Amino acid sequence: MKDYILKRIVAVILPFMCMYGFYVILHGASSPGGSFAGGIIVALSFIVFSTIYGLDEGRRILPESVLVWTESFGTLWYGLLGLIGIFKGVPFLANLLAGFKPGTPGSLFSGGLIPLLTLGVGIRVASTMVTLFFTIKEE
Amino acid sequence: MKIRNVLIVILALIALYGIIISVAEMPPYGSPDNPVHNQVSERYIHKALEETGVLNMVTAIVLDYRAYDTMFETIVLFTAAIAVVINLKKYHDKSSSADKEDSLIK
């Protein structure tokens, strides 16, 4: 696309979109929203960028190796965090039983394991959406 | 042919009677003493903050009480992405451009 206004507006909005996505992901424990919604917003920022600036530019800022890595290890990260519970002698994916600190409710890292899981699922959803977009667009 | 149609109508009416009877027996919508409002939701509402430490009850259910479910939801996403990539991705094979269809197999 060769629209100057679109390109300038996207260049201004895009960092805030991506940052807002990570905000929604990280505050999933204390406010509405969460990993799925935030991941979609992060993915949307990259999708907007590669729609306006072209697919090659999108590929340049988000290389295929990063996408392959997050695709492959997102669920494994979730499973490894769950295995901590088994090593402590409590059920799989146990949270406070496994000795994680609950923190003060409402702060950023409250709820022990939950922010880490939220971050994993959010990055996972974002990489899936971007992969689907890139693959279908290339086709 | 006629007898078959009549039999179908009679069977459908019997099934409809059963469905209407069971709908009439259902508890009223939104009533507080419905059987769905049992000790499970009671426990989620009263103990979620103390057992998980997060304010958002939906997050407490999705990522703590039902963490298995979320894990396999991410596997659903993984499967969708893998299926699309396998079916649609072009494998750029610089050496032999003659048979692009077979490049995946070779």
Q: What digits encode the pLDDT tens for the residues B12-69?
A: 999 999 999 999 888 888 787 888 888 888 888 888 888 888 888 888 888 888 888 9
B57 in contact with A, Cβ within 8 Å: no
Q: Rounded to whole angstroms, how far apart are CA atoms B78 and A120?
A: 13
DSSP chain A: ---HHHHHHHHHHHHHHHHHHHHHHHGGGTSS--HHHHHHHHHHHHHHHHHHS-HHHHHHHS-HHHHHHHHHHHHHHHHHHHHHHHHHTS-TT-STTTT----STTSTT-STTHHHHHHHHHHHHHHHHHHHHHHHHH-
Those of residues 36-65 in A touching chain B at CB distance below 8 A are none
What ipTM did this prediction achieve? Answer: 0.80
pLDDT in tens, chain A (139 residues): 678 898 999 999 999 999 999 999 988 888 888 889 999 999 999 999 999 988 888 889 888 899 988 888 888 888 888 888 888 888 888 888 887 888 888 788 887 888 888 998 999 999 999 999 999 888 7
Give the best residue of A35, A68, A134 to mutate against chain B (max B CB count within 10 A): A35
Phi first, then psi, for residue A95 (nearest 5°) are -100, -80
A71 in contact with B, Cβ within 8 Å: yes
| Contact residues, chain B, for A132 at CB < 8 Å | 80-81, 84
**CB-based burial, A75-89: b 16+ in 10 Å, e otherwise:** bebbeebbebbeeee
Q: Rounded to whole angstroms, how far apart are CA atoms B97 and B80?
A: 29
Say whether A93 and B84 touch across the interface (CB within 8 A). no
Q: How far is B102 from chain A (nearest CA, A)?
A: 17
For the question of whether the overall pTM of this predicted structure is more than 0.95, the answer is no
